[in-house]
């Protein structure tokens, strides 16, 4: 292979076990594997995580079907929106579905009657993210709609925090938690008790035990990455430090090595010229593979355990790097794009900073056609 992604099985298990220890045995641990398991490979990750988590969280019906059709028997919650004409797949396959729209509930109710199948619903309530979710004022109306259909079951109640990762001031998140608790209280006054209440993402699960409720949804941190610098600082300020271990290493190979004289321009647009007589290596990856064009002239890769700078623009299928200072080098030598080689490491956080983004985007955008290999 010209490029591939390695998934460290032991590190993934370590991270899941870390969260299991954190939340205890009574709280349900959901492994969130949406978006191709944050770029890590949905089937590869699920095959490992199924022994260490209780539920799986996906974005779409297609991701849910992919898991089920490949032998995953754990409960699956579809966190994202499902089109009305795909809701029959939800009912027939026994998936749990996040709901908030009246139209979705009615369609699921009709299908549940028609197919005589029970359907589990998770209401997502709006507490301050202004994204998916039904407002408190509309929630009871939606629940009354559910009650009209005998095969619909309200299994879960959830919300999502808007500002728990990007700050060390968690006042807004705590206000959302208060709203969620108030909604639970009001439902209780109406005689409505929903069995699985869940609000915690990775950051919330680490920082605030009161957000755990009945289930936590572990996403970015099961892959060994912190939600943000602020989360890391907040989490590791106390005595019980949490260690996360990166799961992904992204690699390629050297396709060509050649010498060029000082002053020679490199790659499209002649945006960079070498300032010395140089040895360069051509690597067969580019923005098609998910190596962001924003890394032009600023990115680094690891060759022979040393950092080598990207020269000029990132191309669709190739980049050029400066290997002048690497003495022992040959065609098809292994190169690390993301991860460790020797004592050096390139992190998703580093790449994210260079392109003005975050670690989530860096790993999620790695082309899903690239082979993921469990090591």
What is the residue extent of each domain of the chain? 9-235, 248-346
Contact 280, 311 (CB under 8 A): yes
The pair of structure tokens assigned to 199 is 């609000």
For the chain, give the percent of residues with pLDDT over 90: 93
Contact 310, 320 (CB under 8 A): yes
The pair of structure tokens assigned to 16 is 């899941």
Q: Provide the sign of the torsion angle of the four alpha carbons 367, 324, 258, 253, taken in this order.
A: negative
Contact 22, 207 (CB under 8 A): no
- Cα separation, 213 vs 77, whole angstroms: 17
Residues acting as catalytic residues? 34, 268
- Cα separation, 363 vs 361, whole angstroms: 6
292-331 residue pLDDT tens = 999 999 999 999 999 999 999 999 999 999 999 999 999 9
Query: What is the DSSP code (8-state) at residue 245?
Result: -
Find the mean pLDDT for residues 180-187: 97
189 CB-near residues (< 8 Å, 6+ apart): none
Query: Beta strand pairing status for 278-283 and 256-260?
Result: antiparallel
Which residue shows structure tokens 């095959």?
47
CATH of 9-235, one of 3.20.20.10, 3.40.50.1820, 3.40.50.300, 3.40.50.10490: 3.20.20.10
Confidence band for 222, pLDDT divided at 50, 70 and 90? very high
Q: Whole-prediction pTM value? A: 0.95
Residue 271 CA: distances (Å) to CA of 25, 195, 239, 310: 56, 59, 49, 12
CATH of 248-346, one of 2.60.40.1730, 3.40.720.10, 2.40.37.10, 2.60.40.10: 2.40.37.10
- Cα separation, 119 vs 19, whole angstroms: 29
257-276 residue pLDDT tens = 999 999 999 999 999 999 99
Nearest to 32 by CA among 195, 241, 225: 225
Average pLDDT, the chain: 96
Q: Which of 102-116, 232-246, 357-371 shows the lowest mean pLDDT across its residues?
A: 232-246
pLDDT for residue 239: 45
């Amino acid at each position: 292979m010209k490029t591939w992604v390695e998934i460290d099985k032991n590190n993934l298990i370590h991270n899941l076990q870390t969260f299991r220890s954190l939340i205890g045995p009574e709280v349900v641990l959901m492994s969130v594997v949406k978006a191709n398991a944050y770029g890590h490979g949905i089937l590869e990750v699920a095959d490992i995580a199924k022994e260490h988590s209780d539920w799986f969280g996906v974005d779409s019906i297609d991701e849910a079907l992919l898991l089920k059709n490949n032998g995953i028997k754990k409960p699956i919650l579809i966190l994202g929106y499902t089109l009305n004409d795909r809701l029959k797949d939800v009912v027939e396959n026994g998936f749990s579905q996040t709901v908030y729209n009246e139209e979705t509930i009615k369609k699921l109710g009709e299908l549940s009657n028609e197919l005589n199948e029970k359907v589990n619903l998770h209401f997502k309530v709006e507490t301050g993210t202004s994204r998916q979710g039904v407002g408190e004022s509309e929630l009871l109306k939606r629940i009354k709609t559910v009650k009209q259909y005998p095969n619909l079951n309200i299994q879960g109640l959830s919300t999502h925090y808007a500002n728990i990762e990007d700050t060390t001031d968690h006042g807004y998140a705590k206000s959302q938690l208060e709203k969620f608790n108030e909604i639970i209280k009001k439902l209780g006054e109406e005689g409505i008790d929903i069995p699985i209440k869940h609000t915690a993402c990775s950051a919330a699960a680490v920082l605030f035990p009161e957000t755990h409720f009945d289930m936590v949804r572990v996403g970015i941190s099961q892959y060994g990455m912190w939600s943000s610098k602020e989360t890391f600082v907040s989490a590791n300020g106390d005595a019980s430090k949490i260690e996360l271990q990166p799961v992904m290493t992204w690699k390629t190979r050297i396709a060509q090595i050649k010498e060029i004289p000082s002053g020679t321009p490199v790659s499209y647009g002649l945006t960079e010229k070498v300032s010395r007589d140089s040895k360069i290596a051509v690597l067969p990856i580019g923005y098609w593979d998910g190596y962001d064009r924003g890394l032009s002239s600023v990115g680094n890769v690891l060759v022979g355990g040393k950092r080598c700078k990207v020269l000029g623009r990132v191309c669709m299928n190739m980049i050029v790097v400066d290997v002048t200072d690497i003495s022992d080098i040959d065609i098809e030598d292994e190169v690390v794009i993301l991860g460790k080689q020797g004592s050096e490491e390139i992190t998703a956080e580093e790449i994210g900073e260079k392109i003005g983004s975050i670690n989530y985007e860096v790993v999620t955008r790695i082309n899903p056609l690239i082979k993921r290999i469990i090591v």
